[in-house]
Structure 1
Amino acid sequence: MRLELFVDDVSESLTFYRDVLGFEVMGENASYKSLRFGESRIAVQDVRTLEPGHPLAGPGKRGLGVEFVLEVGDVTALHQRVQKQWAHVTGLKRQAWGLTDFRVTDPDGYYWRITEQRR
């Protein structure tokens, strides 16, 4: 699966996904960046490139009603990295289902649960 996130500021989103979370840039142009983290793929695209009337083109907070889940090999190390660089992050928590995770919100309000990989 690949996600495309429509954002207000592609540069700000790129900084978050590349520099804070550790995604690798795979392809890019001025209004679109393709990124990956292991097998996960996302793209960030300037929301102003959408056609007028597109259901995602309207103003307002983005990402409502969705939680993205990213499985990583070392959730503790990534959490430490994110905490140093980003204000909108929760603490690490061992969940009732047995996995440890943390939550972080990107510059446009997209909500991520970063969790350890299932064994």
Structure 2
Amino acid sequence: MTLRLELFVDDVNVSLSFYRDVLGFELIGENASYKSLQYEQSRIAVQDIRTLEPGHPLAEAGKRGLGVEIVLEVGDVTSLHQRVQAQWAQSTELKRQPWGLKDFRMTDPDGYYWRISERRR
């Protein structure tokens, strides 16, 4: 079983730049309004929100991703945190959590909330 997230965004190219250049995802497929990306075994896609059918629940106005925390587990969270901090102001400091793992939090250009965590051993 695999899980892939599809995030509906205002500007596909801005999102592509963020996920590729800031977080290090690799572009693996695309068309004009849809980009598929991969980071190790994790896959996401970004799609222009205007492509949704009228009346689609995700097309309604409101905060994107409300009630969801997207967690990306990586092998070297310290290096990724340094990379993100150098390019993206909307990220927190790296912190060891009470459950023992180090992580940091951030929002993407569309307000999706991410927790970037070291992998559980």
The bucket for the TM-score relative to the shorter chain is: over 0.9
Q: TM-score, normalised by structure 1?
A: 0.98
1:24 aligns with 2:26: yes
Alignment partner for residue 91 of structure 1, among 90, 93, 98?
93
Q: Give the Cα separation in 1 of the matches to 2:40 and 2:114.
A: 16
**Per-residue deviation at 1:32?**
0.2
Q: Give the Cα separation in 2 of the matches to 1:37 and 1:30.
A: 21
Structure 2: gaps of 5 or more residues: none
Q: Give the Cα separation in 1 of the matches to 2:61 and 2:99.
A: 37
**Per-residue deviation at 1:61?**
2.1
Equivalent residue, structure 2, for 1:35: 37
Q: TM-score, normalised by structure 2?
A: 0.96
Does the residue aligned with 2:58 lie in a helix, a strand or coil? coil
Superposition RMSD on alpha carbons, in Å?
0.6
Give every structure 1 segment of 4 or more consecutive aligned residues whose post-TM-superposition deviation is greater than 3 Å.
none
Give the total of aligned pairs.
Answer: 119
**Per-residue deviation at 1:41?**
0.6
Equivalent residue, structure 1, for 2:110: 108
Question: Does the aligned pair in 2 maintain the 1:63–1:108 contact within 8 Å?
Answer: no
**Per-residue deviation at 1:56?**
0.3
Equivalent residue, structure 2, for 1:78: 80
1:28-84 Cα offsets, whole Å, 9 max, x none, are 111000001111010000000000000001223211110000000100000000001
Question: Does the aligned pair in 2 maintain the 1:104–1:113 contact within 8 Å?
Answer: yes
Equivalent residue, structure 2, for 1:9: 11
Q: Give the Cα separation in 1 of the matches to 2:58 and 2:50.
A: 10
Q: Give the Cα separation in 2 of the matches to 1:65 and 1:107.
A: 17
Residue identity over aligned pairs, in percent, reads: 80
Question: Does the aligned pair in 2 maintain the 1:75–1:116 contact within 8 Å?
Answer: yes
Amino acid corresponding to residue 5 of structure 2 in structure 1: L
Structure 1: gaps of 5 or more residues: none
